[in-house]
Structure 1
Amino acid sequence: MEGEQPAIGEAGQGTARFRQKRDAILTAAAEAINEQSAKGMTFADVARRVGLNTTSVTYYFKRKEELAAAAFEHTLDYLLTMLDEAAREPTPERRVERYLQLNLERLLRIEGGGERPMAVLSDLRATEEPARGRLLAGWRDVFRRTRALWGEPATRAAKDLNGARAHVLLENTFWLTVVLRRYEPEQWPRVNGRLMDLFARGLAVPGARWEPQLLDLSHQEREPARAQFLLAATRLINELGYRGASVQRIASELNVTKGSFYHHLDAKDELVIACYKRSLDTVADAQRAADRAGGAHWRRLTSAVATLLDIQFAERAPLLRTTAMSGLPPSVRTAMVDRSNGIARRYAGTVMDGIVEGSVRPVDALVASQMLMALQNAAFDMRKWAATMPRDRAIAMYASCLFFGMFAEAPTMPA
């Protein structure tokens, strides 16, 4: 009922009624975070979604940041529950397959109305202390338990490889929620199966070698100052999310005034759009350069992806994470996703041409193209991992997760 207050002592007693309303508020908060980001979520919006007034919501959560942190903790706990169940399977392949199945069942329940979505974790780093430290520790636990699906590594190299596999697995299952929107729900199990097929066997045909050509994407900037602004903004937005990277923070990164920002861009939304356009242009440039270089389509595919991973790991001119789009107006977000899908379809075309010529294993090219987009997009988060080894080795190890699969021995890596 609108404006209803919990009974006195209800919270302390942990009654079913209190828990039910608290869970409803967390569900509404997750929906608001997924639509607007954690920074954009408001108590008023959450209250409206659950039929309460703002004061009633503050009975359960005193501050907006506390509510956002609780929604993120719910997501982390859910992931850990799925990972713990998957870990009971006897082999790495069976464990990953079980984790994917549990995730698919969750998405089907959400689609059928039997479960509500959990909050995406894109704004995790933008949360405030002390919640931030607690949430990041929770995320590290999720990552470690995901890596443990491959068992105890015998060497440091095996641990590094399992870390790459864990990251690619998590990022692709997060991205799967976007991919599945293009299919009827009855097709979702098939898409999930094609995803597992790629995780298990990769894109490589027997005897394929990892010998990409790093492509030269350098070109003359027409507005060097604006380009530097976009690069600084991309790095900060990737780290802190759309709402966490303020105009003031971006200006401070470059030791310029806020006025300089507005000299180059009219508004923050325009900034994110420009950053995302620059990133998509970079991906398209790599694809075109790979096609100009010619050769087998396996070589073109590996060269384009390796070049983009090199850019991500170098951190000088990274690609903007797709998670930044959560802060944009829906119409703008749709336009950006459409452009991304067009670029993914070019990957799909390369995969299909490779299948025809025999240089790429027969796979679902549409699913593979989306996985490649997720792989290169998420690589920015692994730059510290990549910095612990030679760059070409990091690129080969990370890319092997999709090109050679996640369970066979890794291909020969650069020394």
Structure 2
Amino acid sequence: MTAPSDDAPPRRAGRPRADARSVSGDPTDEILAAASRLIGELGVGGTPMSRIAQEVGLKQSSLYYYFRRKEEILAALVARANVVPLELLAAISADGDAPAVQLYRFVRADAVALCALPFDINDIHRIAMRDPVEFASYWKERASLERQLATIVRRGTAEGSLRKVDARLTALTLLANDEGAQNWFRLGSKWSTAAIGGHLAELAVAGLLVDPADLATTRRRADELDART
């Protein structure tokens, strides 16, 4: 089936379902979640638009109102994977404060944001790994995220508030902890996203502080700054 021309902007009004499911608002998140799941299982080439439409109960023609082609779905998935943590880190860096406070705020908010995503972040990594040229911007943004976190760690080490650790490995570990939490959260969790984010932040920062007694002060300051946003 031929998609609408590029001159026509995609509509966001509700489109008819091919099955009996009710239509409620914009199904974009549902489409992205289904696409990431299918692509993770079948690969990019093995996931046609018709299969994505079937998964969310839309007619293929209706799917084209939201995404004209599969490449647009892939681009939306990959963009979402990095935009949230990058924007979060930019806001935290703009607020300033101690490195431990910045790391605490980032880990807590990043975990909450990841758990709220409609797709598995690990599926996105696998998609981007299959075609590093096509998704070069994704890896560039990912590298920037790692460098910015590592810079905060190095600053804390230089100031003497954080232990002497490998800054880049620490940055990767912090990101991996948040992403791993999203993995099991999506399977079902008795804990809220706020509880998960707070717990991860406590464990991460407590393990980095030279003086563990500084954790309570770090938490209070993080709470104060987050309350302003």
Q: TM-score, normalised by structure 1?
A: 0.38
Which among 121, 128, 133 is matched to residue 325 of structure 1?
128
Cα 1:233–1:379 change in 2 (3 A) is farther
Q: Give per-residue Cα distances to partners, 1:318-377, cap 9 Å, x unaligned.
A: 7563122244x3411344222211121111112122223333322111111222232333
Q: Give per-residue Cα distances to partners, 1:135-173, cap 9 Å, x unaligned.
A: xxxxxxxxxxxxxxxxxxxxxxxxxxxxxxxxxxxxxxx
Give the Cα separation in 2 of the matches to 1:238 and 1:256.
Answer: 16
Partner of 2:198: 396
Partner of 2:177: 375
Which among 110, 114, 139 is matched to residue 312 of structure 1?
114
Q: Give per-residue Cα distances to partners, 1:240-283, cap 9 Å, x unaligned.
A: 44454843454345543322333443432332222111221111
Q: Does the aligned pair in 2 maintain the 1:297–1:351 contact within 8 Å?
A: yes
Deviation at 1:305, TM superposition (A): 1.9
Note the 1:53-68 alignment, pairs <5 A: none
Q: State the identity %.
A: 19
Give the Cα separation in 2 of the matches to 1:380 and 1:373.
Answer: 11
Give the Cα separation in 1 of the matches to 2:162 and 2:32.
Answer: 33
Cα 1:236–1:354 change in 2 (3 A) is farther
What are structure 2's unaligned runs of at least 5 residues?
1-9, 14-25, 208-214, 217-229
Q: Which of structures 1 and 2 has the larger relative contact order (alpha carbons within 8 angstroms, sep 6+)?
A: 2
Q: Does the aligned pair in 1 maintain the 2:34–2:56 contact within 8 Å?
A: no
Cα 1:391–1:333 change in 2 (3 A) is closer
Note the 1:4-83 alignment, pairs <5 A: none
Cα 1:316–1:334 change in 2 (3 A) is closer
Give the Cα separation in 1 of the matches to 2:185 and 2:101.
Answer: 24
Q: Does the aligned pair in 1 maintain the 2:178–2:200 contact within 8 Å?
A: no
Q: TM-score, normalised by structure 2?
A: 0.64
Partner of 1:276: 78
Cα 1:287–1:238 change in 2 (3 A) is same
Cα 1:233–1:386 change in 2 (3 A) is same
Cα 1:237–1:398 change in 2 (3 A) is farther
Give the Cα separation in 2 of the matches to 1:360 and 1:333.
Answer: 35
Give the Cα separation in 2 of the matches to 1:232 and 1:361.
Answer: 43
Deviation at 1:313, TM superposition (A): 2.3
Which among 64, 69, 81 is matched to residue 262 of structure 1?
64
Please say if 1:232 is aligned against 2:51. Answer: no
Give the Cα separation in 2 of the matches to 1:249 and 1:375.
Answer: 32
SS across alignment from 1:389: coil
Please say if 1:362 is aligned against 2:164. Answer: yes
Q: Does the aligned pair in 1 maintain the 2:100–2:205 contact within 8 Å?
A: no
Cα 1:260–1:305 change in 2 (3 A) is farther
SS across alignment from 1:321: helix
Q: Give per-residue Cα distances to partners, 1:70-109, cap 9 Å, x unaligned.
A: xxxxxxxxxxxxxxxxxxxxxxxxxxxxxxxxxxxxxxxx
Please say if 1:351 is aligned against 2:153. Answer: yes
Deviation at 1:230, TM superposition (A): 5.1
Note the 1:179-258 alignment, pairs <5 A: 225=12, 231-242=29-40, 244=42, 246=47, 247-252=49-54, 254-258=56-60
Alignment: residue pair count: 185
SS across alignment from 1:331: coil
Partner of 2:7: none
What are structure 1's unaligned runs of at least 5 residues?
1-222, 406-410
Q: Give per-residue Cα distances to partners, 1:18-37, cap 9 Å, x unaligned.
A: xxxxxxxxxxxxxxxxxxxx
Partner of 1:114: none
The amino acid of 1:345's aligned partner reads R
Q: Does the aligned pair in 2 maintain the 1:230–1:275 contact within 8 Å?
A: no
The amino acid of 2:34's aligned partner reads L
Q: Give per-residue Cα distances to partners, 1:47-86, cap 9 Å, x unaligned.
A: xxxxxxxxxxxxxxxxxxxxxxxxxxxxxxxxxxxxxxxx
Cα 1:236–1:371 change in 2 (3 A) is farther
Deviation at 1:394, TM superposition (A): 2.1
Give the Cα separation in 2 of the matches to 1:361 and 1:265.
Answer: 48
SS across alignment from 2:93: helix
SS across alignment from 2:64: helix
Q: Does the aligned pair in 1 maintain the 2:53–2:63 contact within 8 Å?
A: yes
